[in-house]
Amino acid sequence: MKEPRAPIGGEQRGGYEGSDERDGERGAWSVEGASPLIEGRPPRSTLHAHSPVVSARAVTREYRMGAETVRAVRGVSLDVADGDYVAIVGPSGCGKSTMLNLLGVIDQPTSGTISIRGRDVSTMSDREATRFRLLNVGFVFQRFYLMPMLSARENVELPMAEAKVPPAERRARARELLSYVGLAERERHRPPQLSGGEQQRVAIARALANRPALLLADEPTGELDARTGADVIALFARLNRDGTTIVVVTHDEGMARAAQRTVHMRDGQIVADERRNV
Amino acid sequence: MSAAEHARTETPRPAFHIPRPAPRTARPRMLTALAAAALRRHVVRTALAVLGVAISAALLLDMVMLASGMRESFRDFLLVRGFQLRVSPKGTLPFDTEATIGGAAALVRVIRSHPDVDAVSPVLGAQLHVIEGDRATTSFALGVEGGEQGDYALEAGTPVGGRDHAVVNDAFLHATGLALGDTVDVAVGYDPQLRSYAGRRRLVIAGRGRFYYTAAGQPVAAVPLATLQDMGGPARADRVSLLMARVRDGADVEAARAWIEHALPNVSAISIETALRQVDERLSYFRQLSIILGAISLVVGFLLVTTLVTVSVNERIGEIAVMRAIGVSRTHVVQQIVLEGLAISAAGAVVGLALGLVTARYLNAILSDFPGLPAAFDFFLFQPSSAWRALGMLMLSGVLAGVYPAWRASSLPLAATLRQEAVA
């Protein structure tokens, strides 16, 4: 069988095949009927489009604020399928970011369960969760948070270095990712030398470095003007077309419209879940 | 090209192969790069911190050098010619009083008869008056034997040999205005009531030397022992102030010392080790002070590095939380921050050690001018072990300085920190 090529934005089952640290159940996918758009990329139908990447069941997250207990997320259940592009929207304080943190294994639910690719992540130790995030989840934040003294390429290499990818290989992949996000010529530039939109694209490339199963973004256009925000929205759409599963928390209507599915939250609960063809 | 335009064009998909295990240096290199990047972010602040640590390191090195330097300098100074034993009149320390020992020739013979004694150097000390017309310049004379002596190193001319040949130091030449090869009238045993001398002699200044045990700037002349004894008259005949004895390599110095004291009841024999013990006792307060000052400088350096790294971590809370969020392990966050503290301490230590050597040299020059101190005596003695010890303490303090900020950074509650950063 032909050795498959992993899509740049994170093949839902791919990643570093053969690595013990990747989930054992994530075997290599078939390339039969590969999309003509991207060589080596499997068509969505062969990716079990409806098998959930993320499955959250009755998730509640409470935390203490002084003497008060705040229920940021209340009994939420949510499935995110392979190749989904989900926008979580809602007013400030409705629990969107908390939900995103729970899905990204940054936080743990007070009750309920979350599984990613069938693996229960709601009770992982800090060490396990860190390793899991490194290899399975990509994050994009509103404020980019690139390392200002490292070049764009070195920023992209950072998660790969942590994942013990050999230097030559991670350099090559960082270049390819920067090329993918349109910054091939800017790889040596440091974040202060880049515009906000360019920095966010570097952050997206960094999020994709270890071919995550899931890309999470928290207000990725929040710090950008309309034009650069549109560039980032287009980039997310392209990533999704290329097979990346994306969950994004946003107040940006344009970003929400670009998603196939919009989950509306209010007071810590999902009040609507709309799916549409984009 | 914008990302939107770029997105419309198809970028060739990269093919990836299964990664091989990374070399063990892959992550340390990245950690080093991150630590260096964090320090480069505020270059002036980092440079000031390094300077602060350097000053603290310089003081630490100086205190370490001072704490052990005086003792080691004293040891080197006493052993400069390899004589491990000093024999002085009973109950006195060498040149502590003007007391002399009679029957010197016999004493020398007895001591030389010990099979482990390699050499004996008898020394007689006296005030020497250089007579030039009505003017007399007072200096110090050491009567020594021509062969083995342990009081000076010849720098020019010939050593003490014939009965009228003297070796003098620069201060002597400077005070008298004489030069090598000149003859000079000298006298000893001045009686102020009779205004006369016990003995006079004309000497030839045959050599110039550096004297180990006399005070810096004091005019000194080494003359043949027999000449000085003769000049002193009956009061100095066959007498010496001190005998220095050298024991063969590998022989038991303490056993030889005990044997001398047993064989010669009218003398006290002291070994260098005993002398050092006595010096240690006398210098213990001084050493404690050095240790306390050294410890204070170390603590100041430690607090400086801790403060700087903590401030730096506080400024980067968001970045650190994001690093953790994208999968950088707690251990690597700790390592990176400890490395930052260590790097500041290491840079400060390197600058500080150089600075410490310069200041030690300067302070030593000031202290060596203290009246009555031998020129060869050093307060600050550089020993590689002192430098290594200071360096070791600084490195340890650098590591410890990073512990608190590293703990703080690694124990950040991720979700809460990211939430706070988002609304900040």
CA pair distance B303, B300, nearest whole angstrom: 5
DSSP string, B153-192: EEEEE--S-STTEEEE-HHHHHHHT--TT-EEEEEE--BT
Residue B11 has pLDDT above 50, yes or no: no
Write down the residue that tokens 């050599």 correspond to.
B207
For chain A positions 247-266, those within 8 Å of chain B (CB to CB) are none
Given a cut of 90, whether residue B91 has pLDDT beyond it is no
CB-based contact A150 B33, cutoff 8 Å? yes
pLDDT category at B27 given cuts 50, 70, 90 is: low
pLDDT band of A25, cuts 50, 70, 90: very low
Q: No. of H helices and E strands in chain A?
A: 7, 10
Q: Do A169 and B21 lie within an 8 Å CB cutoff? A: no
- The interaxial angle of helices A167-180 and A152-162, nearest 10 deg, is 130
B322 in A contact zone (CB under 8 Å): yes
Confidence of residue B196 (pLDDT cuts 50, 70, 90): confident
Inter-chain touch B26–A164, beta carbons under 8 Å: yes
Residue B376 has pLDDT above 50, yes or no: yes
**Cβ contact, residue pair B328, A158, below 8 Å:** yes
φ, ψ for residue A256, nearest 5 deg: -65, -40
What does the pLDDT read at residue A38?
28
Contact B103, B126 (CB under 8 A): no
For each of the domains in chain A, give its residue range(s) and CATH number, in order of start: 82-107+121-275 (3.40.50.300)
**Tokens found for residue A56:** 């959250």
Is residue B51 pLDDT above 70, yes or no? yes
Q: Is the pLDDT of residue B186 over 60?
A: yes
Could you identify the residue written with the tokens 């003294």? A149
The whole-angstrom separation of Cα B151 and Cα B424 is 77
Cβ atoms B345, B39 nearer than 8 A: no
H-assigned helices in A10-123: 96-103
Q: In percent, how much of chain B has pLDDT > 90?
A: 25
* Residue A180: strand, helix, or coil: helix
- Which among A6, A164, A237 has the least Cβ separation from residue B22? A164
Q: Would you state the structure tokens that stand for residue B282, as one six-digit string?
A: 């006398």
| Residue A50 pLDDT | 53
Identify any residues that bridge with A80 across adjacent strands, giving them in sequence order: A54
pLDDT band, very low/low/confident/very high, at B136 (cuts 50, 70, 90): confident
C-beta atoms surrounding B179 within 10 Å: 9
Predicted confidence band of residue A242 (pLDDT cuts 50, 70, 90): confident
Tens of pLDDT, residues A203-240: 999 999 998 989 999 999 888 888 888 888 998 998 89
Q: Which of A1-15, B226-240, B247-261, B401-415 has the lowest mean pLDDT?
A: A1-15
Separation of alpha carbons A197 and A175, rounded Å:
18
pLDDT grade, residue B111 (50/70/90)? very high
Task: Provide, rounded to the nearest whole percent, the portion of chain B with pLDDT above 70.
Answer: 91
Average pLDDT over residues B267-290: 83
Closest among B80, B70, B78 to B364, alpha carbons compared: B70
Query: Which positions in chain A touch B327 (Cβ < 8 Å)?
Result: 130-131, 133-135, 137, 159, 162-163, 210
Candidates A109, A111, A144; CA nearest to A129 is A109
**Once rounded to an integer, what is the mean pLDDT over residues B35-60?**
88
Partner-chain residue, chosen from B4, B322, B328, that has the shortest CB–CB distance to A162: B328
* Residues B246, A172: Cα–Cα separation, whole Å: 73
Domain positions in chain B are 26-75+279-423, 91-265
Residues 6+ apart with CB under 8 A from B137: B129, B130, B175, B176, B219
Between CA A207 and CA B397 the distance in angstroms is 37
- Residue B54's pLDDT is 93
What lies within 8 Å, CB to CB, of A237 at 6+ separation is A85, A258, A278, B7
The residue type of A18 is G
B83 Cα distance to chain centroid? 21
Q: How far apart are CA A134 and CA B208, in angstroms?
A: 78
Contact status of A11 with chain B (Cβ, < 8 Å): no
End-to-end CA distance of chain B: 33
Instruction: Provide mean pLDDT across the span B91-115.
Output: 83
DSSP code of B96?
T
Instruction: Give the three-state DSSP class for A266.
Output: strand
Nearest CA in chain B to A105: B325
B106 contact A CB<8A: no
Q: What is the DSSP string of B283-314?
A: HHHHHHHHHHHHHHHHHHHHHHHHHHHHHHHH
Q: Per-residue confidence at B342, pLDDT binned at 50, 70, 90?
A: very high
- Taking the alpha carbons at both ends of chain A, their separation in whole angstroms is 34
* CA-wise closest residue to B129 among B32, B231, B39: B231
For an interface test with A, give the residue of B9, B13, B315, B323 to mutate (most A CBs within 10 A).
B13
Written as one letter, the residue type at A102 is L
DSSP letter at B215 equals B
For residues A23 and B403, which has the higher predicted lDDT (pLDDT)? B403
H-type alpha helices, chain A = 96-103, 126-136, 152-162, 167-180, 196-207, 226-241, 253-258
Distance CA A114, CA A184 (A): 37
* Tens digit of each residue's pLDDT (9 = 90 or more) over B293-320: 889 989 999 999 999 999 999 988 888 9
* pLDDT recorded at residue A42: 37
- Does A126 score more than 60 pLDDT? yes
Decide the pairing of beta strands A52-65 and A269-275. unpaired
Contact of B136 with B130, CB cutoff 8 Å: yes
What confidence tens digit (pLDDT) does each residue in A246-255 have?
A: 999 999 888 9
**What was the pLDDT predicted at B95?**
66
Q: Rounded distance, CA A75 to CA A56, Å?
A: 9
Contacts of A137 in chain B (CB under 8 A): 327
Q: A151-208 pLDDT, tens per residue?
A: 999 999 999 999 989 989 999 999 999 998 999 899 999 999 999 899 999 999 999 9
What DSSP string describes B333-381? Answer: HHHHHHHHHHHHHHHHHHHHHHHHHHHHHHHHHHHHTSTT-BTT--SS-
Amino acid at B2: S
Calculate Rg over the CA atoms of chain B: 34
d(CA A34, CA A46): 9
Maximum distance among all alpha carbons in chain A?
Answer: 61
Q: Which residues pair with B101 in a beta bridge?
A: B240
| A121-131: average pLDDT | 91
**Does A145 contact B318 at a Cβ distance shorter than 8 Å?**
yes
CB contact at 8 A, B133 and B161? no
pLDDT tens digits, B206-263: 999 988 888 778 899 999 998 888 888 777 888 898 899 999 988 899 999 999 989 8
Q: Which of A40, A107, A210 sits opposite B415 (nearest CB)?
A: A107
pLDDT at A22 over 80: no
pLDDT band at A140 (very low <50, low <70, confident <90, very high): very high
Is A124 strand, coil or helix? coil
